[in-house]
Structure 1
Amino acid sequence: MVWLFSLRHRSWLNWAVWVLACGSIIAFAFMTGSWAFTSYYLRYVLLGLFTVVAVFSYYRTKRSNLHARTRDSRIIVPSAFLLLFVVLDALAIASYYPSGKTFDVAFPFRSGTYYVLQGGVNIVTNPFHALGDNKLAIDIVKLNALGNRADGIAPRALSAYRIFGEKLYSPCQGSIFEVRDSLPDNPPGNPDIEHPEGNYIVLKCAKGKILMAHLRRGSIRVAPGDVVTMGQPLAEIGNSGNTLEPHLHIDATKDGMAIGLTFDGQSLSINSLIKRT
């Protein structure tokens, strides 16, 4: 936006290419930025600011270049940015459309507004998991009224995070395959890299196994072999394991292979918002 605002465009072609290039970068930030660290709603402010800057640059170009020739060598750099970010934007959009079979389950939380901190089917929207064991895993947090996942940008108290202590419900009917409930909840910013999942539940359902990780110590209500129904309370969200702050890590496997999850028919990616009443 600073580029677009400060440049004096020599031609309409120059202006159009710069607007498209900057717009593609703004679109990428809108779709893939981790907005919940400040406010989810700031992404719309970004779009508004870009619109104002684009209109301003349009009128300035109109006043100063009424008879300008369209040939301009300064479009090479913005053209390169445009091509790059069009590809990245396409990948961000594609992350909402998993290929192959998916496993549809119920959303595991009740009331409130929930946000996908990381998710999707490719490295653009799900970089941490794309390089790990399950590239289709999803990280979920809860938002407050301001669209932030916590009271502040990086609070030191676990209780400041909206999802900490939130009740987790079974996303499907099945049996408990595996449980761990002995690890402490780490202070924010101090991950336990030796125990990546932290406290967790593995739930065996008809279509595969679901891992729900980073649970609160002492909160798990089930044991291996228990049969559970969809919507049954299972545990609370904590901050155990390899995690910087409280969130739910959830993924699914079938025959040892990662499989995509959909929730009540909805495919989720980074910045997806789920409102439950």
Structure 2
Amino acid sequence: MKGPEKNKPYRFSMGISIALFLYFGVITTGALTGYRMPEQEKAVDLAFPMEDGVFTVGHGGASTAINYHHDVAPQAYANDITQLHWWGMRASGLSPENLKKYRIYGTPLYSPCSGEVTTAVDRYDDLSPQEDPDEEASPAGNHVILSCDGTEGHLAHMKPGSVEVEEGQMVESGDRLGSVGNTGNTTEPHLHIHAERDGEGVPITFDGRFLKRNSLVFD
């Protein structure tokens, strides 16, 4: 003889609750792990490459839970950085088509380290927000790569016509490189920055601070 049918939904709901608990537990653990500074002895300390504003990190940290770049070895510790208006929003509107409505658009970029410019690309047009780039275009769009004491620093998605350095040029920390734009594989204006050695991502600190998703920088 079968037991009461009313026990089945209870057992079913308990199973779902346990599964959800385990799922969100794994997600939370991954996120918390990503907020910790990894391999501090391998980190490179850079100067923050923008000035005169409030900046926030969209993607950043040491796990895919808070940094979708983390699965790509050279970009494992990349930061995607936007800028905030005084009222705390990154743009005037939720997702405006006009690039100039994004606070960070056109913000000057400065060299985060002293070294040599190994790559300087300035040939791509800005895209509209959410617009897919041309398949043949560089995902980095207009960008600069610096070699500083054996570490490569990549700054991507720069504004057309703004790149002020050329390959082979020596720069000092604080020299102007260009301006933030919306070129390459990007959904809205922001600075993508990462560091790598021999194709492997290197943790970045800015003035001694490891930035993660939602970190704020007042400069």
TM-score (normalised: structure 2):
0.86
Q: CA RMSD in A?
A: 1.9
Q: Deviations over 1:150-205 (max 9, x none)?
A: 11111000101111000001111111111101111111121314320100000110
- Contact conserved, 2:63 with 2:70, CA < 8 A, in 1? no
Q: Which amino acid aligns with 2:91?
A: A
1:83 to partner: Cα distance: 3.1
Aligned length: 205
- Residue 231 of structure 1 corresponds to which residue in structure 2? 174
Q: Does the residue aligned with 2:203 lie in a helix, a strand or coil?
A: strand
**Identity across the alignment (%):** 38
1:255 to partner: Cα distance: 2.0
For structure 2, the 5+ residue unaligned runs are: 1-9
Question: Is 1:208 the counterpart of 2:136 in the alignment?
Answer: no
- Residue 171 of structure 1 corresponds to which residue in structure 2? 112
Larger radius of gyration: 1
Question: Is 1:253 the counterpart of 2:196 in the alignment?
Answer: yes
Range with greater deviation from structure 2 (229-238 or 124-133): 124-133
Q: Deviations over 1:28-49 (max 9, x none)?
A: xxxxxxxxxxxxxxxxxxxxxx
Q: Which amino acid aligns with 2:182?
A: N
1:114 to partner: Cα distance: 0.6
1:139 to partner: Cα distance: 0.6
- Contact conserved, 2:69 with 2:75, CA < 8 A, in 1? no
Q: Which amino acid aligns with 2:25?
A: V
Within a 5 Å distance, the mapping from 1:97-116 to structure 2 comes to 97-100=36-39, 101-116=42-57
TM-score (normalised: structure 1):
0.69
Distance 1:109 1:147 in 2: 17
- The higher-RCO structure (CA 8 Å, 6+ apart) is 2
Instruction: Evaluate the alpha carbon distance shift between residue 122 and residue 82 of structure 1 in structure 2; reply closer, same or farther with a 3 A threshold.
Output: same
1:253 to partner: Cα distance: 0.9
- Residue 117 of structure 1 corresponds to which residue in structure 2? 58
Range with greater deviation from structure 2 (87-96 or 238-247): 87-96
Greater helix proportion: 1
- Contact conserved, 1:130 with 1:136, CA < 8 A, in 2? no
- Contact conserved, 1:103 with 1:207, CA < 8 A, in 2? no
Q: Does the residue aligned with 1:94 lie in a helix, a strand or coil?
A: helix
1:231 to partner: Cα distance: 1.1
